[in-house]
Amino acid sequence: MTRVRVAVVGAGFAGVAMARRLAAAGESFVVLERRPGIGGTWHDNRYPGVACDVPAHLYGYSDIAHPGFSRVFAPGAEILDYLVDAAAPVADRIMLSTELRAAAWDGARWQLATSRGHVEAEVLVMAAGRLTDPRLPEVPGAFDGPVVHTARWDDGLDLDDARVAVVGTGASGVQIVPELARRASSVVVLQRSAPYILPKGDRGYADAEIALFERQPDRLADLRDDLMRETEEVFAQRAGDGRAEARARALDHLAGQVPDPVLRAALTPDHEFGCKRVLFSDDYYATLRLPHVRLVPGALTAYEPGAVVAADGSRHEVDVVVAATGFNTTRQPYAELVTGRDGISLDQYWSQGMRAYASTAVHGFPNLFVLDGPNATLAHNSAVLMIEAQADYVASALPWTQRGPIEVSFEAEQQYVDELQDRSGVWTSGCHNWYVDERSGRQVLLWPGKAQEFRDRFGSFDPAPFAVAESARA
């Protein structure tokens, strides 16, 4: 049996951030990671064209600069390398290929069953992320060729001169379609709903720029500060009074890239700007104009041997189906594994949608903290900014757990949930998105404000909403 003060589940951005803070504080801890490598979503997503849509020098830890990023928006492989390097000082505390099978609160400690034995911890930090459980199309029929989800990419998949169907036009679909079009003999793109797309403005960094960042770290720090300010201003364009201007820019981008009025009409969104995730691309629209690429404005409705059928009744013969269909985001698979104070699982407690005070602490689950979970990501800025604030929150809460188990009150949690719901109007305006839990209609994934507001409010622990149960530990 492994006995530690803190057990962390997940070794992506959140788990590594937490591990580094625990090491700095001299805490006894272990990180459990079910994958064979570090990186979380950046370990899973290796599809052609995968990249971050936040500038690379902002999408990283505030205290670990990386002057060597090759592009303004880093390719996924470079982000993975960055994370592996960031985790190096705590790598000996990370148990890879170790799956959490159950975690139960026994009144004083968390008892964890894993694929590699038992772990006992006073504090449990779930850093398992939101984009872990791929959602595959559920349609009648059967396809007799490869069907691959972008988050479970098969590097051995032969796409050269293949006929490919891409299902979905979200973030991964917009990234992968141009890459597939370079290799496949034909690409058919099945679009359930047209997204708003803004120009990305990506470019490679010149060798001289990278060398300057290496020689003068202050230049890189200044760039990060500038990116932070610029990106925070985008909040008004997603959920505030700047949405009309941003929508006009997106439609201008569409008009400038797609002169064909029929194709342009099919690519024009029918929902309010900001209600769904706004995407970025410099080459997606241009790719759809290529002679061997076809957009079908309808969802996948059925498989047939060697073909896909769309909502408009059209049938398309293909060799490979690529599912760019996202994830099960509002109901996390780890929630079934975690049982709290009254024998209730997180999944049961979250039956009407995920909820947590400060997006981090859950009533009924003492000494449990959830990173990158309920209402802890952003529609306009780097999620790493939120993760760092949450990790700081947990680190500053740990001294209080030495007195006894701590648990947030239901009243504080409910007030927080009500506040977030009141501020989430644009995302609950009627369009179908992956932020809203269909069971309750609550928006459960996004923090409905600027990153700096969250960091100011919840970057350190306030014990006021918590009860501390004095207990003597054996």
Taking the alpha carbons at both ends of the chain, their separation in whole angstroms is 16
Q: Is 88 helix (H, G, I), strand (E, B) or coil?
A: helix
CATH topology of domain 147-195+234-323: FAD/NAD(P)-binding domain (3.50.50)
- pLDDT recorded at residue 471: 47
What are 372's two structure tokens? 């990158």
pLDDT in tens, 32-41: 999 999 999 9
Same fold across 2-133+329-468 and 147-195+234-323: yes
Asked if residue 51 lies in contact with residue 73, where contact means CB atoms within 8 angstroms, the answer is yes
Domain ranges of the chain: 2-133+329-468, 147-195+234-323
Instruction: Give the span between the Cα atoms of 131 and 88, in whole angstroms.
Output: 24
CATH topology of domain 2-133+329-468: FAD/NAD(P)-binding domain (3.50.50)
In this structure, what DSSP letter does residue 89 have?
G
Asked if residue 17 lies in contact with residue 60, where contact means CB atoms within 8 angstroms, the answer is no
Asked if residue 179 lies in contact with residue 48, where contact means CB atoms within 8 angstroms, the answer is yes
Instruction: Give the span between the Cα atoms of 247 and 306, in whole angstroms.
Output: 39
pLDDT in tens, 76-101: 999 999 999 999 999 999 999 999 99
Worst-scoring range by mean pLDDT, 119-123, 256-260, 370-374, 427-431? 427-431
Q: Hey, which residues does 31 pair with through a beta bridge?
A: 8, 94
Q: Hey, which residues does 187 pair with through a beta bridge?
A: 164, 293
pLDDT in tens, 308-353: 999 999 999 999 999 999 998 889 999 999 999 999 999 999 999 9
Q: Is 161 helix (H, G, I), strand (E, B) or coil?
A: coil
Asked if residue 451 lies in contact with residue 377, where contact means CB atoms within 8 angstroms, the answer is no
Residue among 126, 129, 100, 103 at smallest CA distance from 34: 100
Task: Give percent of the chain with pLDDT exceeding 90.
Answer: 95
Instruction: Give the span between the Cα atoms of 472 and 474, in whole angstroms.
Output: 7
pLDDT over threshold 50, residue 151: yes
pLDDT over threshold 80, residue 472: no
- pLDDT recorded at residue 130: 85
pLDDT over threshold 80, residue 398: yes
- pLDDT recorded at residue 389: 98
- Single-letter amino acid code for the residue at 21: R
Mean pLDDT (the chain) is: 96
Q: Hey, which residues does 424 pair with through a beta bridge?
A: none
pTM for the model stands at 0.96
pLDDT in tens, 191-200: 999 999 999 9
Q: Which residue has the tokens 């969250």?
A: 454
What are the distances in angstroms from CA 357 to CA 363, 392, 411, 412? Answer: 8, 15, 10, 7
What are 371's two structure tokens? 């990173």
- Single-letter amino acid code for the residue at 383: A
What are the distances in angstroms from CA 103 to CA 22, 129, 335, 384, 391? Answer: 20, 17, 10, 26, 21
Asked if residue 327 lies in contact with residue 130, where contact means CB atoms within 8 angstroms, the answer is yes
What are 295's two structure tokens? 């957009």
Instruction: Give the span between the Cα atoms of 48 and 178, in whole angstroms.
Output: 9
Mean predicted confidence (pLDDT) in 168-183:
97
Asked if residue 304 lies in contact with residue 143, where contact means CB atoms within 8 angstroms, the answer is yes
pLDDT over threshold 80, residue 474: no
- pLDDT recorded at residue 473: 40
Q: Which residue has the tokens 């141009």?
A: 178
- pLDDT recorded at residue 469: 73
Q: Which residue has the tokens 């820019």?
A: 249
Instruction: Give the span between the Cα atoms of 416 and 422, in whole angstroms.
Output: 10
